[in-house]
A and B are shown apart, each in its own frame.
Chain A
Amino acid sequence: MGMKPTDISAPDYFHKVVDCQWACPAHTPVPEYIRLIAAGRYSDAYMINWKSNVFPGILGRTCDRPCEPACRRVRVEDEPVAICRLKRVAADYKDDIKDRLPKKAAAKNGKRIALVGAGPASLTVARDLAPLGYDCVVFDGDTRAGGMMRTQIPKFRLPDSVIDEETNYILDLGVDFRGGTRIDSMKALLADGYDAVVVGSGAPRGRDLDIPGRKEAATNIHIGIDWLSSVSFDHIHSIGKRVIVLGGGNTAMDCCRSARRLGGEDVKVVVRSGFDEMKASPWEKEDAAREGIPIHNFLVPKEFLHKSGKLTGVVFEKVKAEYDAKGRRKLIPAGEPDVTFECDDVLVAVGQENAFPWIERDAGIAFDEWGMPTVDKVTFQSTNPKVFFGGDAAFGPKNIIWAVAHGHEVAVSIDKMLHGENITERPLPAATVVNQKMGIHEWSYKSEIMPDQRYAVPHRDNATALSSIKAEVELGFDAKLALSEAGRCLNCDVETVFSAPLCIECDACVDICPMDCITFTENGEEDDLRQRLHAPALNLSQDIYVADGLKTGRIMAKDEDVCLHCGLCAERCPTGAWDMNKYFIEMTHAGPACR
């Protein structure tokens, strides 16, 4: 008994080895586009992204990058490949790609889809369905498309021109965009006879802080996301000199940096948790620090101080973290004197919530006790079979890339449903396998791997950056830096494929492998085998590739965890038992392939 031989034809097996792609909610084929960037083929790199994540220019500036912590470079070196900023390179340096986009459907198929909210979820659904002939009608209260990408992300991180370009690629597919039209009744919408309704209206309500002084000092206390959208729409142009931002998420980072540009001289962030446990992405905290914004931690707001209707400061209680037996954190009073910070304005960025005041509770859509719709996690269908939810509207606030991933799945559901198919049967991804061997020492990919620390993205100098709310802070990689950074990619989609009948068990691969990934040994149960490998395989999230059928009766066991995909095993193999094959894995989107 022991481990079963690995079925490498299972679509997920090698997909999981491509950590970045597996971690990406939209499963963008990351190594493939990074190689194209290295080759200077920016338009090709852009199109791979566009197909998968719809907003490469936007995401290349704003993505929460779930791919990067997953990057294998983290496990073998330190910092991940700058995947997100390489995506931006593709968007920045591409040629005009308009003629490579899908064409408007020659004929409509007679099915009408209503999409509520013109954010990333709805636009992704429209992008997938409009070219298939669906009549997609997108409604939004704002006159321009983009949703939270337009209203809540400051322009110094994401210029309007980028949003315009990428939303127009979709609207130009023959999508009927009705800007400035706020939907205020689901029942009325359903009564219009749409074949499907997509709710992509986000999580639009910023959480408030109900502590003493809130009402009295209301003029100087602003809800973060509302304040940011007012700044976006040019309704707000200034703020007091001394600003406190309450909250530790990315919205708090956007708030403090915006405040710094609108006249805030003494801007500070105050957060309940410890600095390390803040929800904000590490790089967003770094950006705030670079702009001279201190972050004070373990302080819980207790009271707003005010004088004749004007905010004068905030009192905080000092807390400390305590962990119970299960490792859960609790913040308890530290027993130290309260801390008071004086200020002119406060921005409250302590979270946001869903709100569906426009969906009547008798519209056939079930909601739970927290006011969230009941949505199937795979099909995104609500309890009203015609109504689908995507993006923040589906499961609460997440990130753009999640909204895009939801959008693709919603489109598949709708396409299947309107073709009379069972929407719970989901399409498998498509894999294209290409052998990489060119000659005795030649591979079609850059197999030589060296230690190489992450390259920093150039920034606009602080003085210029802080003088304008719209001047983009990050300048992006230039072509040379992009080439260097792209060279750090380990090509994890070029897979080591083993053929036991060819193996003569000469140990050449075992000896050459720089990471001690390969072991020939007696089979055993996984727990035991993991301990017996050449290097113990302790990262349980990474699979062991097992092959049997060797002459000695042993098995080949390869720990995928820290494989560099350097191809040395294949290069040193005298019989070709090891081979390097590129697995280009693409998710199946709406259209004939999904049905």
Chain B
Amino acid sequence: MTYLTKPKFHHPSLPKNTLGYTRRDYEAATSTLCAGCGHDSISAAIIEASFELAIEPHRVAKISGIGCSSKTPTYFLGASHGFNSVHGRMPSVLTGANLANRELIYLGISGDGDSASIGFGQFAHALRRGVNMTYIVENNGVYGLTKGQFSATADRGSKSKKGAVNTDNAIDLAAMALQLGATFVARSFSGDKTQLVPIIKAAIAHRGAAFIDVISPCIAFNNHPGSTKSLDYVRAHNEAVNALDIMIGRDAITVDYEPGKVVEVTQHDGSVLTLRKLNDDYDPSDRLAAMNFLQQETAKGRIVTGLLYVDGEADDLHGHFNTVAMPLNQLNEPELCPGSKALDKINAGLR
């Protein structure tokens, strides 16, 4: 914990993006989470991804629920819009905001308690509707704010800090997201920014419901030997299926990969995802195979990470509804109130 603000100084060689901002310009208030919290690393990864994508901060809405994870939007993108909503209700608040203003980039920040318990229904429906968003769950397997009780994502058989054994089955949010029809599903680890940052960038560039399950060790209550979400356990059981390079608005990278070692996915916005295969048999465009693979590896005690599934042709809720292309706040009176003749026409159509 710190009460000190991070000094404004930065490294003299700190690079600037095309907007002229440095990475530090995407920071916000200093975190008050426990020292060493994985969530702070995820905040740093979001900052890095936003910097590298040269996102205009005022074009981002970061929306969260309640919990340690949901506090974190205070600690990144200080110049963006923020909404710290009700416990488990981030998905519906985000859905509403997205319908009202489709031009913003939506970052939904949640935790395992917020999404897998109180907000489990909300989580499911936002994904199945295909809301255009980047939904990040900072998953530590415990209720950190109330001193470390098991959460719904804690693995059966894992131990609490005091030694109690979890007897409930775990919810695998990535597997759920695949089943619910999310068009971008990834899992990563707060301790591996090399993997996490490109995944966040690709998710932001994705049109449709992008879901990232980030294992984020709770240093205070879930980083002990009996835990399956500790730094050591995740490092020892990490099964990364691919490594991601993302190119936005430019030609795909021309690095020579061995034939058959690379999968390229072009998304709606023109971004090209280049996936270096770490597992030769893994195909991130096959949703059913991804679901199978995930279940098999989980049964073997492995934690599958990487970009698990992506549908480059995905559409979103606005597409499904055929909504007006303009954000609602940009519509003027003639469009919003087309007059009695238009009303008569609609009424006639309903008779």
Contacts and interface: CB of A to CB of B under 8 A. Distances in A.
Q: Do A and B bind each other?
A: yes
Interface of A: 75-77, 440-441, 447-451, 504-508, 510-512, 514-517, 535-536, 538, 551-552, 562, 564, 566, 568, 571-575
27 contacts: A449-B7, A504-B231, A505-B191, A506-B231, A507-B41, A507-B191, A508-B37, A511-B44, A514-B7, A514-B8, A514-B9, A515-B9, A515-B11, A535-B11, A535-B13, A536-B13, A538-B13, A562-B11, A564-B9, A566-B4, A566-B7, A568-B4, A572-B2, A572-B35, A572-B40, A573-B36, A574-B219
A441 B223 CA distance: 23
A568 B40 CA distance: 14
Given A504-B219, A515-B10, A564-B9, A441 B35 contact: no
A504 B232 CA distance: 8
Given A507-B191, A511-B44, A564-B9, 15 more contacts: A441-B3, A441-B4, A449-B9, A451-B8, A505-B191, A506-B41, A506-B191, A506-B217, A510-B44, A516-B11, A535-B11, A562-B12, A566-B7, A568-B6, A571-B4
Contact of B2 (A506, A535, A568, A575): A568
A562 B9 CA distance: 10
A330 to B, nearest CB: 33
Contacts of B170: none
A198 B8 CA distance: 52
Contacts of A505: 191, 231
B38 interface: yes
B9 A76 contact: yes
Contacts of B38: 506
A507 B43 CA distance: 12
B268 interface: no
A498 to B, nearest CB: 15
B325 interface: no
Most chain B beta-carbon contacts within 10 A, residue among A450, A508, A516, A566? A508
B14 interface: yes
A505 B41 CA distance: 11
B7 to A, nearest CB: 5
Q: Which 3 residue pairs are nearest across A and B when measured between Cβ atoms?
A: A574-B36, A511-B44, A535-B11
Interface in B24-59: 24, 30, 34-38, 40-41, 43-44
Contacts of A76: 9, 12
Interface of B: 1-14, 24, 30, 34-38, 40-41, 43-44, 190-191, 193, 217, 219-220, 223, 231-232, 235
Contact of B44 (A507, A536, A538, A568): A507
Contacts of B217: 506
A508 B40 contact: yes
Contacts of B43: 511
A449 to B, nearest CB: 5
Contacts of A448: 4-5, 7
A224 to B, nearest CB: 40
Nearest to A447: B4
Contacts of B219: 504, 506, 574
Nearest to B1: A440
A575 B8 CA distance: 26
A450 B41 contact: no
A583 B217 CA distance: 35
Contacts of B223: 504
A369 B23 CA distance: 60
A508 B231 contact: no
B12 A575 contact: no
A441 B1 contact: yes
Contacts of A451: 7-9
Nearest to B15: A535
A307 B10 CA distance: 63
A331 B332 CA distance: 73
A517 B1 CA distance: 20
A511 B35 contact: no
A571 B35 contact: yes
B4 A564 contact: no
A574 B217 CA distance: 12
Contacts of A512: 2, 6, 30, 40
Contacts of B11: 515-517, 535, 562
A562 B10 CA distance: 9
A516 B24 CA distance: 11
A75 B12 contact: yes
A80 to B, nearest CB: 15
Contact of A574 (B10, B34, B191): B34
B6 A573 contact: no
A562 B12 CA distance: 9
B194 to A, nearest CB: 10
B331 to A, nearest CB: 42
A505 B236 CA distance: 14
Nearest to A441: B3
Nearest to B3: A441
B36 A575 contact: yes
B33 to A, nearest CB: 10
Given A441-B4, A450-B8, A506 B36 contact: yes
A538 B191 CA distance: 27
A511 B40 contact: yes
Contacts of B1: 440-441, 571
A216 to B, nearest CB: 56
Nearest to A571: B2
Nearest to B2: A571
Given A440-B1, A551-B232, A574-B219, A504 B9 contact: no
Contacts of A515: 9-11
Contacts of A504: 36, 219, 223, 231-232
A449 B4 CA distance: 9
B35 A507 contact: no
Contacts of A516: 10-11, 14
Contact of B14 (A517, A535, A572): A535
Contacts of B8: 450-451, 514
Nearest to B41: A507
A115 B7 CA distance: 51
B296 to A, nearest CB: 27
Contacts of B3: 441
A318 B4 CA distance: 57
A320 to B, nearest CB: 33
Nearest to B38: A506
A353 B219 CA distance: 67
A441 B3 CA distance: 7
Nearest to B47: A511
User: Which of B24, B36, B41, B219 has most chain A Cβ within 10 Å?
Assistant: B36
A517 B14 CA distance: 12
Contacts of A440: 1
Contacts of A575: 36
Contacts of A441: 1-4
Nearest to B223: A504
A573 B40 CA distance: 12
Nearest to B231: A504
Nearest to B235: A552
Contacts of A77: 9
A506 B38 CA distance: 7
A505 B11 CA distance: 22
A572 B193 CA distance: 18
B63 to A, nearest CB: 23
